[in-house]
């Protein structure tokens, strides 16, 4: 069982790229990047590159390095960007937990969208990662973390319910995005994709609940720990009722 919701660009389009939650997160990140106007930024955990490619197109003056652990994803991103002749984004294979491998001193923005969850337990590792990130950054630069958060000290049952609500809500978007007409086949096709999404996300929910490959944290954790490291929390706002939140931290 994989801890990734999508393993290819096709799966990304089925399972994530068309959900309101994902689109909304990406729209707000795009808005924040237009405020920061970085000359150089890094996205950690860029997946198939959807966000980095969009940001590169919207901000032609910004150089973007998009880093992902999975070589296959790096290939997809590089392929997509070269087809579209986007010169200001580079896809790199690398591990975000090994920050010494990256030049972050010149980056005015580090972006993590749905990738903070992959920093494995114990939760102290997330603290150590943020501390290490802080030490590698220059003063005045930003970190944007867009993530799904869970309630502080919630029971497994509560967390399962929270994640189910999130994913089942997404699967409604998947249904409508994949409805291509009103013939019997079209309706059946949308239903089939929706039910495949539910099966796959059921597995994802269990990984998150059991902290097995996916490790969510609470908003409270971030509010408490980011300032201890030295970050100013510029904003920590929910995006929707599904517990997706964007944190903007500044060194």
Ligand X SMILES: C[S@@+](CC[C@H](N)C(=O)[O-])C[C@H]1O[C@@H](n2cnc3c(N)ncnc32)[C@H](O)[C@@H]1O
The residues that touch ligand X, with contacts defined as CB under 6 A, are: 4, 44-47, 50-51, 67-70, 73, 95-97, 113-115, 118
Shortest gap between Cβ of 43 and ligand X (angstroms)? Answer: 6
User: CB-wise, 213 or 230, nearer to ligand X?
Assistant: 213
At residue 205, the 3 state secondary structure works out as helix
Q: What are the CA-CA distances from residue 119 to residues 12, 140, 213, 214 (Å)? A: 21, 25, 9, 8
Shortest gap between Cβ of 54 and ligand X (angstroms)? Answer: 9
Q: Give yes or no for a contact between 26 and 43, defined as CB atoms under 8 angstroms apart.
A: no
Shortest gap between Cβ of 242 and ligand X (angstroms)? Answer: 15
Shortest gap between Cβ of 153 and ligand X (angstroms)? Answer: 26
User: CB-wise, 97 or 169, nearer to ligand X?
Assistant: 97
Shortest gap between Cβ of 31 and ligand X (angstroms)? Answer: 15
Task: Tell me how far apart the alpha carbons of residues 246 and 40 are, in angstroms, rounded to a whole number.
Answer: 20
Shortest gap between Cβ of 58 and ligand X (angstroms)? Answer: 14
User: CB-wise, 93 or 108, nearer to ligand X?
Assistant: 93
User: CB-wise, 97 or 218, nearer to ligand X?
Assistant: 97
Q: Which residue's CB comes closest to ligand X? A: 45
What are the phi and psi torsion angles at 211 (to 5°)?
50, 60
User: CB-wise, 58 or 95, nearer to ligand X?
Assistant: 95
Which residues does 109 contact at the CB level (< 8 Å), separation at least 6? Answer: 33, 36, 38, 41, 42, 141, 142, 143, 144
User: CB-wise, 70 or 198, nearer to ligand X?
Assistant: 70
What are the beta bridge partners of residue 244?
148
Buried-state track 186-220, b at ≥16 Cβ within 10 A, e below 16: eeeebeebbeebeebbeebbbbbbeeebbbbbbbe
Which residues does 185 contact at the CB level (< 8 Å), separation at least 6? Answer: none
């Amino acid at each position: 069982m994989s801890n990734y919701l999508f393993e290819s660009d096709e799966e990304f389009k089925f399972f994530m790229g068309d959900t309101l939650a994902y689109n909304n997160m990406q729209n707000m990140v795009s808005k924040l990047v237009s405020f920061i106007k970085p000359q150089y930024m890094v996205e950690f955990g860029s997946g198939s590159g959807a966000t980095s490619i969009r940001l590169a197109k919207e901000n032609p003056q910004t150089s973007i390095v998009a880093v992902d652990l999975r070589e296959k994803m790096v290939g997809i991103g590089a392929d997509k960007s070269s087809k579209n002749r986007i010169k200001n984004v580079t896809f790199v294979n690398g591990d975000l937990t090994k920050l010494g491998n990256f030049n972050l001193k010149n980056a005015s923005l580090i972006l993590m969208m749905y990738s903070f969850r992959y920093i494995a337990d114990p939760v102290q590792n997330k603290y150590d990662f943020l501390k290490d990130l802080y030490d590698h950054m220059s003063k005045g630069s930003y970190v944007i973390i867009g993530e799904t958060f869970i309630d502080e000290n919630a029971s497994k049952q509560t967390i399962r319910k929270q994640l189910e609500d999130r994913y089942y809500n997404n699967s409604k978007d998947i249904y409508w995005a994949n409805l291509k007409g009103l013939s019997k086949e079209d309706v059946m096709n949308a239903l089939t994709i929706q039910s495949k999404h539910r099966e796959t996300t059921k597995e994802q929910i269990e990984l998150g609940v059991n902290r097995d490959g996916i490790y969510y944290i609470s908003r409270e954790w971030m509010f408490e720990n980011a300032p201890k490291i030295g970050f100013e929390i510029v904003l920590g706002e929910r995006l929707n009722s599904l517990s997706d939140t964007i944190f903007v931290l500044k060194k």
